[in-house]
Amino acid sequence: MASSKDIEKAAGVLRAGGLVALPTETVYGLAADAMDPAAISRIFQVKGRPPSHPLIVHLAGAEQLDAWVQDVPVAARVLAEHFWPGPLTLVLRRGPRVPLEATGGLETVAVRVPDHPVALALLAAFGGGVTAPSANRFGSVSPTTANDVRAELGDAVDFVLDGGPCQVGVESTIVDVTGEAPTILRPGGVTREDLEAVLGHPLAVPSTSQVRVPGQHPSHYAPRARVVLVEPETVIAEAEAASESGHQVGVFLPAAFADVPVKAHAVVAVPASPAAYAQGLYGFLREFDQQGCDLIIASLPAEQGLGLAIANRLRRAAGPRHTV
């Protein structure tokens, strides 16, 4: 676990224009000074991420919001007050200090306050904001431990802060509050139901089948192995058929079938609790890759609560692969 000396060192790396891998409650981020265009450019280089994909600016607290954005609507204040620190990202109108490099050229900027003691300590020591996309190569599985980051990025990152395994395990929920009504751009760690309870009205369900905002490619969060989604009742039969035809199959075994033996290369029993499933999801995908699977058979969970974010990530993991 990162010590206070590590935090000081990491803050120094940020001040010098370097990159720090940062634990958050969602996934590990690759952080740079949000006001340093050259440092931000290095993030895009290291990740292999197209520069048109906007980044999320991470702040130490809601009281910093007005330094970074303009025209904050009441709904945004209510959501920030209720869910920060936490896995909720708000898209707002960009303030003058936000470089266009951080927003992919957009006049809006995504901001959040992470709920992790190491992230908050670094933000306090650094004194500014950091842009921090997930600390993985573009399109691949997000890291949820410091070791995942080291395995994925190696020397390309200047300093890795270890904050233990991420508690939420999937990325933040992104809500655009610049329009008439708040809209969910990406489901994540804060559920739609929780947002609706606080706002007092229903929110549109995001479509996962189309590209809605920059950075929302059909294929993302993808392991090396091909991911195929089937109905829960057919997971076992599909997995065994694929194994028999020579594939090294990794299986996400639905909780309802947890006790059924499956003939496959690797089997993960899906945790019955959506929170545990979300927390483990990326680790399971990485594990299948490490075990040499070339095919992963999974089914979608019910799309409510955290199941909405899990289904979104599985769909994208199974989506058509893109070329950068």
Enumerate binding residues for ligand AMP (CB under 6 A).
53-56, 91, 103, 106, 108-110, 133-134, 171, 174, 185-186, 213-216
Q: CA nearest 150: which of 21, 316, 306?
A: 21
Q: Beta-strand (E) ranges in the chain?
A: 20-22, 29-33, 56-58, 69-70, 88-94, 108-112, 130-131, 159-160, 173-176, 183-186, 226-229, 249-253, 266-269, 295-298
Minimum Å gap between C-beta 186 and ligand AMP is: 6
Spell out the residues 6+ positions from residue 53 whose beta carbon is closer than 8 angstroms to its own. Answer: 44, 104, 133, 214, 215
How far from chain centre, in Å, is Cα 157? 18
The interface partner of residue 174, options being Mg ion, ligand AMP, none and the CB cut-off 5 to 8 Å by kind, is: ligand AMP
The interface partner of residue 280, options being ligand AMP, Mg ion, none and the CB cut-off 5 to 8 Å by kind, is: none
What dihedral angle (degrees, nearest 10) is formed by the CA atoms of 263, 268, 273, 279?
Answer: -160
Minimum Å gap between C-beta 290 and ligand AMP is: 23
Residue 229 β-bridge partners: 298
The interface partner of residue 54, options being ligand AMP, Mg ion, none and the CB cut-off 5 to 8 Å by kind, is: ligand AMP
d(CA 216, CA 290): 26
Please give the size of the binding site for Mg ion, defined by CB under 5 A. Answer: 1
Nearer to Mg ion, 92 or 170 (CB): 170
The residue whose two tokens read 């029993």 is 269
The interface partner of residue 72, options being Mg ion, ligand AMP, none and the CB cut-off 5 to 8 Å by kind, is: none
**Residue 173 found at the interface with Mg ion (CB under 5 A):** no
Minimum Å gap between C-beta 261 and ligand AMP is: 37
By CB under 5 A, the residues from 131 to 170 that bind Mg ion are 134
Minimum Å gap between C-beta 211 and ligand AMP is: 10
The interface partner of residue 110, options being ligand AMP, Mg ion, none and the CB cut-off 5 to 8 Å by kind, is: ligand AMP
**Residue 312 found at the interface with Mg ion (CB under 5 A):** no
Measured from the Cβ of residue 178, the count of other Cβ atoms closer than 10 Å reads 16
Task: Give the binding site for Mg ion (CB under 5 A).
Answer: 134
